[in-house]
Structure 1
Amino acid sequence: MVKLLHSRLERFAKLRKLVPAAVNTHGYVYVSHMPAGLEEDGLRKFFNQFGKVTKVKVSRSKKTGRSKSYSFVEFEEKEAAKIAAETMHGFLLFGKQLVCRYLDEVFKFTMFPNKRHVESKYSQFKEKYNQEQSIEATKDRVFRLLDKEHKLREKISQSGVVYDFPGYESLVK
């Protein structure tokens, strides 16, 4: 088993020598301690001031689809990535202090190139929860709110407290 693995590694090394190495002019920045609302579009706009951003990858949880608060930003030029990492390291953004590190190379090759992205539960139900409610659903929600408010007013008056507050009734009338 070990000999087979060793021979495969040797063949892989020989094949890599035959293929000319591409000149990589891209620079990478690792960004961590990101605030909760910062997404791919925001990062791209934020780091475009230093140079052309080619890729942005925010690491996400497989279960929830939320950000793990770290990401990788790929710049077209290494110098722009170095300047961005130096400038943005320690930058206070929405109450969080960013940690930015310049990376020479992110990954030389991928172990599983055909592995599909697993769609998270969050992305599956995002459209459903963000849809506008129908008129009937809105009426039901308003009716429940008014009913709860009416019960609250009854409890307050039964306890002997004289208190009138503008609630949902004032908005509906």
Structure 2
Amino acid sequence: MTATEPDTVLPLDPAAGLPRAAEGSRWRRFGRGLRQFARRSPLSAFWGCIAAAIIVVAVAAPVLAPYDPLKSDFRHMTKPPAAPHYFGTDQIGRDTLSRVIYGSRASLTVAIGAVLFGTTLGALWGLASGYFGGRFDIVSQRIIEFLQSFPDLILAMAIAM
């Protein structure tokens, strides 16, 4: 008798283990994967945690900031770091910690926007180059190679002038 006949009942092998769905929830597998990643690359895991903390602080800025970042308090102008103002205050009495927390929001917004813009532009350029091919592809490739040959800092300084 073979296993393909309809009357055949195959016995369950307890040594075969449970199917993948019964191994645990999706969150447990996710946590296990994170632990494996942290063991393989602890430095990447550390900086990933730092990046996640910065994102959480930026998102929760209205809750975490101890003071209004735009409100001036002339009694506390240019105070050094101390208990009520942990990063001190600026020349017009604004809390520096609150300004840093709210500033992280603006910085992350600009960074995410730049990445989305660059990814969209690069994907469209690549699609057009692949679709049209021929001379357009060759010219596109040479333009990209030309842009990549410049050091980023020198190119940024040249554009800024």
Q: Which TM bucket (shorter chain)? A: under 0.3
The structure in which a higher percent of residues are helix is: 2
TM-score, normalising length: structure 1: 0.20
The structure whose RCO (Cα within 8 Å, separation 6+) is larger is: 1
| TM-score (structure 2 length as normaliser) | 0.21
Q: Which structure shows the bigger proportion of residues in strand conformation?
A: 1
